[in-house]
């Protein structure tokens, strides 16, 4: 009982400490007072950046797959 009470109280104290902070709310998504990359989005240019990142990632993954396969071949050849 004492243990449960201690755990409950310590959890409560963590929550109480966290009260000093400001929670993220729905209104944080709709305000227009904070600058975001809205212009970039309206131009459509952000998609180009995303595309570039995805191409680079696919390239790296293709290289990793190639290395993985090559290693599998070597493993097969030395076990034979």
Partner 1 sequence: MRQSWWKILAIALLLYTFTAGLLWDVPRLPILNETIRALYFHVTMWFGMLVALLISMIYSIRYLRSNNLKDDDVAIEFANVAILFGMLGIFTGMLWAKFAWGDYWSGDPKQNAAAIALLMYFAYLILRGSLTDTQQRGRISAIYNIFAFAIYIPLVYILPRMTDSLHPGNGGNPGFNSYDTDATLKMVFYPAIIGWILFGTWIATVRIRMRRVERTLEDRMLNS
To partner 1, the closest distance from the beta carbon of 43 in angstroms equals 14
Question: Does residue 46 contact residue 37 with C-beta atoms inside 8 Å?
Answer: yes
| 28 to 57: interface string for partner 1, x by CB under 8 A | xxxxxxxxxx--------xx-xx--xx--x
In the complex with partner 1, the residue whose CB is nearer, 1 or 20, is 20
The answer to whether residue 80 forms part of the interface with partner 1 (CB under 8 A) is: no
Query: What would the DSSP string read from start to end of 30-80?
Result: H-SSS--SHHHHHHTHHHHHHHHHHHHHHHHHHHHHHHHHHHHHHHHHHH-
Provide the token pair at 80.
């034979």
Residues in contact with partner 1 by the rule CB under 8 A: 11, 14-15, 17-18, 20-25, 28-37, 46-47, 49-50, 53-54, 57, 61, 64-65, 67-68, 71, 74-75, 78
């Amino acid at each position: 009982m004492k243990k449960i009470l201690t755990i409950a109280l310590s959890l409560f104290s963590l929550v109480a400490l966290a009260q000093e902070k400001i929670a993220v709310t729905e209104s944080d998504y709709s305000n227009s007072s904070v600058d975001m990359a809205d212009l970039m989005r309206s131009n459509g240019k952000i998609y180009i950046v995303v595309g570039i990142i995805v191409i680079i990632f696919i390239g790296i993954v293709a290289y990793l797959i190639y290395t993985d396969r090559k290693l599998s071949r070597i493993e097969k050849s030395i076990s034979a």
